[in-house]
Amino acid sequence: MASGYSLKDQLFNLEKTRYLAGLFAAADPGFDAVGFEADVMSRLLQLELKARLHWIAEVLGQHLTGDLTKVAPVLLNALPPPLDPSKSDDDFGDFIFAPLGEFVVARGLPDHLDLSLDLIEALTQRFSMEWAIRPFLNAHPHETLARMQVWTQHSSYHVRRLVSEGTRPRLPWGQGVALELKDPVHLLDQLQADPTRYVTRSVANHLNDIAKKDPELVLACLRRWRAQDGGDAKELDWLMRHACRGLVKSGHAEALSLLGFDPEVRVEVDLCLQSKNVRIGSGLEFSVELISDRECPVLVDYIIHFHRPKGKSSQKVFKIKQAVCSSNMLRIDKVHKLKGDATTFKLVPGLHRLEILVNGKIRAGADFDLLPQ
C-alpha to C-alpha distance for 300 and 306, rounded to whole angstroms: 20
19: closest CA among 6, 32, 37?
A: 37
Sign of the alpha-carbon torsion through 275, 276, 278, 282: positive
Residue 185, beta-bridge partner list: none
pTM: 0.86
Distances 139 to 84, 123, 136 between C-alpha atoms, Å: 32, 20, 5
Could you report the per-residue pLDDT of 281-330, keeping only the tens digit for each? Answer: 999 999 999 998 888 999 999 999 999 988 788 999 999 999 988 777 89
Distances 164 to 128, 161, 241, 246, 270 between C-alpha atoms, Å: 12, 5, 18, 18, 43
Could you report the per-residue pLDDT of 177-230, keeping only the tens digit for each? Answer: 999 999 999 999 999 999 999 999 999 999 999 999 999 999 999 999 999 866
Q: What is the number of residues in the chain?
A: 373
Q: What is the largest CA-CA distance in the chain?
A: 79
- 314 in the Ramachandran plot: left (φ > 0), alpha (ψ -120 to 50) or beta? beta
Residue 4 confidence class, pLDDT cut points 50, 70, 90? low
CA-only gyration radius of the chain, Å: 25
205: closest CA among 156, 242, 250?
A: 242
Determine how many CB atoms are found less than 10 A away from the CB of residue 12. Answer: 26
Could you report the per-residue pLDDT of 28-69, keeping only the tens digit for each? Answer: 999 999 999 999 999 999 999 999 999 999 999 999 999 999
Could you report the per-residue pLDDT of 127-172, keeping only the tens digit for each? Answer: 999 999 999 999 999 999 999 999 999 999 999 999 999 999 998 8
Q: Are strands 350-358 and 296-307 parallel, antiparallel or unpaired?
A: antiparallel
Alpha helices in the chain (DSSP H): 7-11, 14-27, 33-41, 49-63, 68-78, 98-108, 113-123, 133-139, 141-151, 157-166, 185-191, 197-211, 215-227, 233-243, 245-249, 253-258
Delineate the domains of the chain, giving CATH numbers in brackets: 66-258 (1.25.40.290), 268-371 (2.60.40.10)
User: Considering the chain, what percentage of its residues have pLDDT values greater than 70?
Assistant: 98
C-alpha to C-alpha distance for 99 and 127, rounded to whole angstroms: 10
Q: What was the pLDDT predicted at 163?
A: 98
